[in-house]
Amino acid sequence: MTEPSSERRLAAVVSADVAGYARLMGRDEEGTLEALRSHRRELIDDLITRHGGRIVKTMGDGFLIEFPSAIEAVRCSVEFQKQMAARNAPIPDDKRIEFRIGINVGDVIHEEDDIFGSGVNLAARLQTESDPGGICLSEPVVQHVRGQMELDVEDMGERALKNIERPVRVFRLRGFGGGVRIAAGSPLPIAPRRPSIAILPFRNLTPGNEAAFVADGIALGIQTLLVQLSNIFLVNACRHPGYRNGEASAAEALASVPVSFALEGAVQTAGARVRASVQVTELATGNAIWADRYDRDLSDVFALQDDIAREVASALSVRLVGGHVASDFTVGLDTPDAWEHFLRGINDLYEWNQGACRAAIPHFRTLAQVHPESALGACYLSLLHYALAVEGWGQDPAAEMEQAKCWSEQAVSLPEGNNGLGHAVLAAISLNERRHEQSLILSRQGVAYRSNCPFAISQLGRTETFSGDCDAGIKHAREALRIRMAHPPSMVNMLAVGHRDKGQLQQAIRVAQAARDIDHKQLEPLVTLCSSHALAGDLEAAGEASRRILSLDPDFSATAYTDRQPYLSPRTPERIRQSLLSAGLPV
């Protein structure tokens, strides 16, 4: 059987995306798309070609580009950012299209016209560390270009990057005309990519200094509450002396701090009462985007702090982020409390770990209770409980799966606020229950709702592969990987499974190795790799993989594993079971 052309190779990978793309599209969709087309037509495509690069894929807000060398990747990226800065110069700040770029040299799998693997993942993660108009590099890139190019490189130290197993040393290019402008010799501020606010000292209006601790305590108490919000970039300026003494305005006090907003307050005590005036100020304009006054008993000071913190979070969320969320899916969520629960929950969900998923559930449960007519809360609850079940994060996976099923059934029954996640989750559950036709119907409905969602598309591919249609499964697995620049190992492994089950064993081995390299603690890619080696007749390599499987799961059973795989035909899992047994794994 002929396998598709593929190879594993070293490549320089550039990941670029538009900073603030959702904001730009929300403000002027047609104008933003036309500007992007103009940049591609007049600058991007020709520049990449001149430096020997190739655009692997494009998304609405970005590009994945492959170069034959790190030097050409860096030269092209620097020239690109310089020319974009020049093109943006006459354009108002709020309408500029600015790219963030990450560059890595690493191992990639090349299949047909696509590339994927750990080298691609790291480039995508480096891009998220970059400033708008800036460039971040991995250490291998710096090593490749050192001595070959005149570059001002800042070592940002090791960073823990999402879905990257080990901390990564990140470098930032400076001094090429793009990104943050800084004075000579000054430290480079890290521009936040979230709503950014500094808490200034609360002024004490009570005569004498004996009540100053009340003003300080309230400000610091609010800080301890806001610091829990991952969707806010928070700076503590509570000790700024010039502002406290009235010698500097908020804008002057925070001139060197990379924030857009300031929390200001004044506190006065009278006997057992405390009065506080608080506002959030937009530094660029000096306008207050939210302000309120509170009159409470001093014994109620903790509730006062909580109220202010909640209002600040809501004001920032509604003002800065809320308007950028797809209105079709968030219809009816028009109160600050609803937005706050949604944004807290969505930020926790995208952390995608046990603690964060558990923390997100109460927020979406509140949405489901307060807005029972909307499917939005139920959609996310179905995904969260499904994650707790399949990722092994729940104490009782069966109970979590039952919760996922209940919430997904509720989600698909509600047309308002339905974003298709419930369909995709219910499709996964139906497949696990061996209801293949039902799973196919739900998967296709999920993709109809979420035509650019890697989770929905990969679930369709998974259902097709387990139903015996490997060609369609491989097609949709590739499509999901093309949409998502950073690839979770489970998604890459599903492509390897499709190749293995189709009999394209060398391709399956290469893709399974790429999935394994993303996260060495994942069991599924090792099982795919082991069975593919065994089916290809390489029992030595299969045995090596089997030993790694047993080191991760000493109780692994080939029969129990294949019994869990929801194949429509019994022949496929039996073939896989025999291959695992031949590699030395227990029955």
In terms of DSSP bridges, do strands 152-159 and 168-174 run parallel, antiparallel, or are they unpaired? antiparallel
Contact (CB, 8 A) for 76 and 66: no
534, pLDDT greater than 50: yes
Band of the pLDDT at 186, cuts 50, 70, 90? very low
d(CA 433, CA 308) in angstroms, rounded, equals 48
241, pLDDT greater than 70: no
Task: Calculate mean pLDDT across residues 457-485.
Answer: 87
Average pLDDT over the chain, rounded to an integer: 80
Band of the pLDDT at 95, cuts 50, 70, 90? confident
pLDDT score of 520: 86
Higher pLDDT, 277 or 176: 277
pTM: 0.55
Q: Which of 187-191, 231-235, 266-270, 312-316 has the highest mean pLDDT?
A: 266-270
Lowest mean pLDDT among 96-100, 372-376, 485-489: 485-489
346, pLDDT greater than 80: no
Q: Name the packing angle between helices 376-390 and 397-412 (round to 10°).
A: 160
- Give the C-alpha distances (Å, rounded to integers) separating 572 from 467, 488, 567: 10, 25, 7
183, pLDDT greater than 50: no
DSSP state of 475: H
DSSP state of 137: E
In DSSP terms, which residues pair with 236 in a beta bridge?
199
pLDDT score of 300: 65
Contact (CB, 8 A) for 248 and 242: yes
Higher pLDDT, 158 or 547: 547
Contact (CB, 8 A) for 477 and 498: yes
pLDDT score of 345: 76
282, pLDDT greater than 90: no
Which residue do the tokens 């399974």 mark? Answer: 512
Residues 6+ away with beta carbon under 8 Å from 514:
8, 107, 109, 116, 117, 118, 492, 496
pLDDT score of 370: 85
Question: Which pair of structure tokens corresponds to residue 182?
Answer: 């800084």
The fraction of the chain above a pLDDT of 70, given in percent, is 77
Lowest mean pLDDT among 315-324, 358-367, 564-573: 315-324
CB contact burial 528-555 (16+ within 10 A = b; e otherwise): bbbbbbbbbebeebbbbbbebbeeeeee
DSSP state of 372: T
Higher pLDDT, 124 or 270: 124
Give the model confidence (pLDDT) of 556-585 as tens digits. Answer: 999 999 999 999 999 999 999 999 999 999
Closest CA to 378 of 430, 414, 325, 335: 414
211, pLDDT greater than 80: no
pLDDT score of 456: 87
pLDDT score of 9: 80
306, pLDDT greater than 80: no
Strand ranges inside 160-260, DSSP E: 168-174, 196-199, 203-204, 233-236
Question: What phi and psi, each to the nearest 5 degrees, are found at residue 509?
Answer: -65, -45
State whether residue 67 is helix, strand or coil: strand
d(CA 177, CA 246) in angstroms, rounded, equals 37
- Give the C-alpha distances (Å, rounded to integers) separating 524 from 354, 492, 527: 19, 10, 5
pLDDT score of 396: 92
Give the model confidence (pLDDT) of 65-88 as tens digits. Answer: 999 888 999 999 999 998 998 888
Q: Which domains does the chain have, with CATH numbers?
A: 6-174 (3.30.70.1230), 196-321 (3.40.50.10070), 336-582 (1.25.40.10)
Closest CA to 238 of 255, 251, 221, 219: 219
Give the model confidence (pLDDT) of 389-430 as tens digits. Answer: 988 788 899 999 999 999 999 999 987 767 788 999 999 999
Lowest mean pLDDT among 22-26, 135-139, 228-232, 261-265: 228-232
Question: What phi and psi, each to the nearest 5 degrees, are found at residue 255?
Answer: -60, -35
pLDDT score of 107: 83
Residues 6+ away with beta carbon under 8 Å from 172:
129, 130, 131, 134, 135, 136, 137, 153, 154, 156, 188
- Tally of CB atoms within 10 A around 127: 25
d(CA 494, CA 249) in angstroms, rounded, equals 57
Question: Which pair of structure tokens corresponds to residue 560?
Answer: 């129990």
299, pLDDT greater than 80: no
528, pLDDT greater than 70: yes
pLDDT score of 498: 96
pLDDT score of 480: 82
pLDDT score of 429: 97
Helix residue spans in 40-130 (DSSP H): 45-50, 70-88, 118-129
pLDDT score of 195: 64
The fraction of the chain above a pLDDT of 90, given in percent, is 35
